[in-house]
Structures are given as C-alpha cells and as structure tokens.
Amino acid sequence: MPAFPLEELLARPKSKPKGCSRLPNLMDIKFHNNYWQAAQAENLTYYIYGAYYDNRATVEEAPLVRILTMSSRYGKRNEVKFPQVYCQLWYENQTEPLLVNVTDHKIIWIFGGAPKRVYPTLLSCALPQQQQQVPEMVSLVATRCELATNLLRVVYEPRKWVEPATKPRFMVCVKALNYPYSDLSWRLIEWLELLRLLGADKVVFYEAQMHANMSKVIEHYSQQAGYVELRPLSLGRGEPHAAPNFHYWAMSADGFNRRLNEMIPYNDCFYRNMYNYDYIGVFDIDEIIMPLGNLTSWSQLIDVAQRAPDYQRESSRCQHWASFCFRNVYFPSYAERAPVYPTLPSYYYMLQHVERSPEHCNRYAAVKCLHSTRYVEALHNHFPLFFRRKHSCDPKSVPIQYAQMQHYREPTNKTRLLNPIRDDNIWRFQPQLQQRVHDTYKQLGFLPNEL
C-alpha cells in the first residue's frame, strides 16, 4: 500500500490537538480497492491514489502538494464546477495540521465523458511561500475542521546527485502490464535492452496481472542497480484486483474505462521521478523512439531537436519546449513475407522486423514524446495535457529526418500495410543488442545450455 503512511502513523506520539482537527487513525480511513482511499465533498466522490511535493523553480505557486485522484465529475475544461475542498497537511513532530485550500483541479482528460465512469483529476494545494519544510502526510477534506477519511504519504524524491550533469537523464513510464494469458517476455527483453542502449536510465512498470515469464524478466532487471521498478496498481472505479486475472477482464470489458485509468500510472510515475530525470517518456512495450542518421542516443537527439525547425511556428522565439514529440510509423509483422534477416533467430522481434509502412502518420496521430520534467504538469499517453506555458512553448514536433516513433503493431488503417519499405536503422545496434538479449535469455534459463 505505497500511498498509505502506516509507518509514519505508528511512529506518531499520541496527543490531543488543540485546534479543530486530529490526525485520522487507521479505523477512520475509507479504503477503496487495494491502493486507493476515498473522500466525499457534497455529491462528489474522490478516489485518491497518491500525493506528491512539487517545488520546481518553474512553478510560481510552489511549493505545492499535488493529489492524484479519480473523481466522479467531468465536463468541458474551465466549465466544470468543483466544490471548495481543503488539504490538511501533517508535518513531522507537529500535532496540528496546516490547513490550506485546494487551489486547482485539473482533469487529465479532454476526449469527452460517459456515465458510470470516474475521471483522472490532479488537485493542487498551495503551501505558504515561507513554508519550506516538506509535509509528511496529507488528507483531503470537504470542510477545514472535519475528521479526514483519508491519509496519504507525501512523496518527495529530491535529486540524488550533486555533481553537474554532463548529459540529460532519461526514464520511461509504462502502463499496467496486463498480460496474464500472453507471454511477451521475449519482446520485453529486447525492448528493455534497446532502451538502455539509447540512453534510458530507468524504466517503471505498473503491475496488473502478467504471465509468470514476464514477472521473471521484471524481477531480473529490477536487481540491476535500479534499472527497472515495478509498482502496484488497481483500477480507480473499484473493480476487484486480488482475484486471479480479474483485472484483465475488467480492463477488457470497457476500453474507455481502461484508458481513463491509464492516466494514473503515467502521472504517478512522472511525479515520483521528476526531480531525478530531465526527460520522461511514456511508452508501450511495442514502441521505441529511434534516432536516425548519425544519431545513436536520446541525448544526441535532444541536442539536435533543440535546434531543429519547428513546424508549428514560423519564428524562432522558442528556446524551451514542454516536450519533444516524434511521429508514429508502423512496423507490422508481415507474417506472409520471408524474413529480411533469415540467419537471426525469430525471438529477436525488432531486429527481425525491418519493414514498415511507407508513410509516417501526421504530427497529431499516435505521437510519443520525451517530456521535460521542468515544465510538464500532467501527462496523457501521447502528449502533455498541462505544462508551464509561461516558461515553455507547446510540444515540438521533431522532423522525421532526425527520429521516428517505431510502432511494432498492425495499423488500424489496413491500407498502411501496402507497399512496405525496408527500414533497418535498428541494425546499427545489432551486435550489442543481439548479444545482450542472448545473455539475458541464458541467465533466465530461457535457452538450452548448448545454444
């Protein structure tokens, strides 16, 4: 239960507050599903997943505590009315909470609503400017002095190193691995090794319920100096999680509900890691941002992307961008076609699949981005929904001569399958990638000893 501060609660001295609120105890909490808590305000219900301390230099209102929720209210942006709610901020060794207003509700969705759904919503609680101590815990309440029904640990992971960075640091966030009936361990290994070659320092996954071999792969990489992290997750509306494979069927039952819930791991991952990485990507395990030409790493790519033409602006006034985004191009399986690289074993999926659709998708269709942790406030899986417009320009579409987002799946529009062209840019990484994948297979016991 990563959000519930049980250790901090047990360590607190038992004392009666002099003010109007006391710290909720374990029996006061309204737990909702495995990893969520609930709060009620008028006829609105908040299901709360996490809380985070935001003191970034680009956030003028900082310091803030951000609270990531699913709420039962939705409507057009700037037209949704939320009740006034409050944060009770609990500091170490203090028995009285600091009471502040929730100053902002950001609905992390722009594509319409439907009944019986809950919507990802990011709340902001502005701390007094002179208050530089990080709160230990926070509760969301409908009135300032009420006894809270929720209590969350405030996540703050400050920068872990003090030496100047010689190049940007990158990490990747992945939605729930919801594969109980499919063994994609072989795809996962190749993908993780290619990410590492491109410059990813960390990859965070969220667990739904997955195949045993995939769990074995995640465990293997989790032991490698923190390269991979697996975090728990359940659905915000309340679907059961503990029953074997039920999460899979709940996700399959309603694609809209699934997409709404996917915003939670993306944004939890971002806020947990924003101080330690310069750029964060949100990808599926069939997606890779591939530098092209002489570029062989994401750090080189970012350097070039900063100077590349900006298709969305005629002027060059921008110096900072919320995100750098890359156009999607499909690499289908083309199972009926002979392998381009017949001597390479078939379990090297990306190295084998070097034929793609002849045309890239447009700049607004299925793009994926590298998001700046200095400016972004809330993420969709394809682009940032909120960012600091005073300090940065809109996401920049990087020209396709520098990089592309390689998508290893069948396109929805089947005409894109026609007239494939060969694109073997990945082969620049072939010797290292092939050897690393093979070594991992051997270590995990996925290959006979004689191979």
Tokens linked to 207: 């667990």
Mean pLDDT, residues 407-411 taken together: 94
Place of tokens 């969350």: 152
Nearest-10 crossing angle of helices 185-198, 430-444: 130
Tokens linked to 116: 């019986």
Angstrom CA distances, 160 to 136, 156, 157, 291, stand at 19, 11, 8, 28
- Pick the closest to residue 364 from 423, 311, 316 (CA basis): 311
Q: Confidence band (pLDDT; 50, 70, 90) for 335?
A: confident
Q: Give the per-residue pLDDT at 152.
A: 98
Tokens linked to 294: 């002489």
Strands (E), 72-182: 86-90, 98-107, 119-126, 137-141, 152-155, 170-177
Give the pLDDT confidence of 137-184 residue by residue, as tens digits.
999 999 999 999 999 999 999 887 766 678 999 999 999 898 989 999
* pLDDT over 70 at 311, yes or no: no
How far, in Å, CA of 396 to CA of 367, rounded? 11
How far, in Å, CA of 336 to CA of 358, rounded? 18
How far, in Å, CA of 163 to CA of 147, rounded? 45
Q: Is 258 helix (H, G, I), strand (E, B) or coil?
A: helix
Whether residue 192 contacts residue 228, with contact meaning beta carbons closer than 8 Å, is answered with yes
Tell me the CATH number of domain 170-444, given options 2.60.40, 2.60.120, 3.90.550, 3.30.70.
3.90.550
Angstrom CA distances, 275 to 54, 111, 171, 202, stand at 9, 30, 12, 13
Give the pLDDT confidence of 366-391 residue by residue, as tens digits.
899 999 999 999 999 999 999 998 88
Element containing residue 279 per DSSP (H, E): strand 279-282
Q: Is 299 or 366 the better-scoring residue by pLDDT?
A: 299
How far, in Å, CA of 90 to CA of 66, rounded? 14
Task: Spell out the domain ranges in the chain.
Answer: 6-155, 170-444
Give the ranges where 212-327 is alpha helix by DSSP (H): 212-222, 246-253, 255-273, 298-307
Whole-model pTM? 0.94
Angstrom CA distances, 332 to 33, 184, 193, 202, 417, stand at 38, 16, 21, 27, 7
* pLDDT over 80 at 26, yes or no: yes
Q: Give the per-residue pLDDT at 451.
A: 47
